[in-house]
Structure 1
Amino acid sequence: MFVMLIRNCTADRRGTNMYTRKYQRIWQYFLQHRVASIAAGHICVLAVLGLLLLGNSLGTSIFGAFAHSPCSSGDHIYTVVRGNTLGGIAARYRTTWQRLASYNHISHPNLIYVNQAVCIPGHGSTSRGGPPPVMGRSNYFPYGQCTWYANQRYHQLHGIYVPWTTNANAWAWTNRARDFHWHVSGRPAPGDIIDLQPWVQGAYGLGHVAVVERVLSNGHVIASTMNWGARHWAVTNVEFSPGSGVSFISY
């Protein structure tokens, strides 16, 4: 009986030793993987820091490229301000957004940045172009009037409404355009607003506005308009010519 008890105690001691060794192996395995996890965490942190540094360097290079964009000596350098669009800048300088995008290697014409330099071919000098033109919010002119149509059609073409809503009879649009820093010229371009002074080329006492659809080879323009001729409520195309009492307005 005593011998059997000793054997049982020996067997229990062996079982305890085996359990202890197994626990030690599990603990060592845990410690090894914990160290590996900490090392992996450090590697991830270092990788993120590296990407942030690379991003900062790349961003600096990109905006540095905007600040130092080279233009030819005969170009005008226009510096983009808040609210500008490439189409609006193109209209201001009597060109097209397609030409500006190609000339400036702009792959996404709808994405330009404040302080980005845009080269305007063949216009000379460097400036910010003065105060930026103001954009309107909606079309507040009475439907069917030439002022309503010109504003609506200009918005269709350029995504911009005229901002003047007071002292805004057709004949006054030229002066109001200057008040809001829009471009006024005697030379037409497709998409311009043409403004006729009273009694010029068929306009009545309040003048007339329309939108240039195309410029003909003889310099005349075909403009779309409303409230002209016998069909007051219909959109009609009318031929006009540049000259005295005629101006062309663009954003």
Structure 2
Amino acid sequence: MKASRVRNYLNAHRVTSTILGYVVVMTVFSAVLGAGAFGSGLFHAHAAAACPQGDKTYTVVPGDTLNIIGENNGTSWQTLATHNNIADPDLIYVDQQICIPQDQQAATMTSTVNTVAVQTADLAYAAPVAPKAPAARHGGGNPYPYGQCTFWASQRYSQVHGFYVPWTTNSNAWQWVARARENNWTVSTTPKVGDIIVLQPWVQGAYNLGHVAFVEKVQPNGSVIASNMNWAGSGARVVNSTFKPGAGVAFLSAN
């Protein structure tokens, strides 16, 4: 009798356990299906969201991140996260639509162009510049004997420009061209008022030591009127004479 009761009790509870197990399984399965349907609906809500007018629509593909999408579209991941109301920028879905604001993209591109322009300008500004020629040297006194052509040329140059010629040795008249170059003076074949004219020996009436004078005027025909000492028998008197550019003639200037 007791054995029969035990058997009946166990059979009754086995059925109950089976029913309860079935109910639990079905409940869990339904919950999973419901969650899947909800997640799918949420996912598709992301995928189907329409972008504002003027925005570019981008569809997420496997391997995408907001940072990659931003770099490829000229904007930042922060802008994309804010613009698309994405709370977690590390969580986006395949086939999700990302709205890319075009005004932000244009601003970024403009900034890039401006940066390149500035860099180009900086490079151009930093290009090597040819060094300036050394400054011409100035003399502090007149070492030449009074009455000589060299005395007057240096003296008159000082009267007009404020300083004498700086060379004092190996400086006969015909040597002034070489001395001028050594002292960074300009040597030219074209005259201008204020230059020193140098005649080589036997040129336009000069003797064996050459001749120097000071250019007072350049005439329309290219010849010059120069003041001199010791020219054509003038001795220590200052006289004006006419010379012309040509072979054996040079013009010296410190500027």
The structure whose Rg is larger is 2
Q: Which structure's relative contact order is higher, taking Cα pairs within 8 Å and 6+ residues apart? A: 1
TM-score w.r.t. length of structure 1: 0.49
TM-score, normalisation: structure 2:
0.48
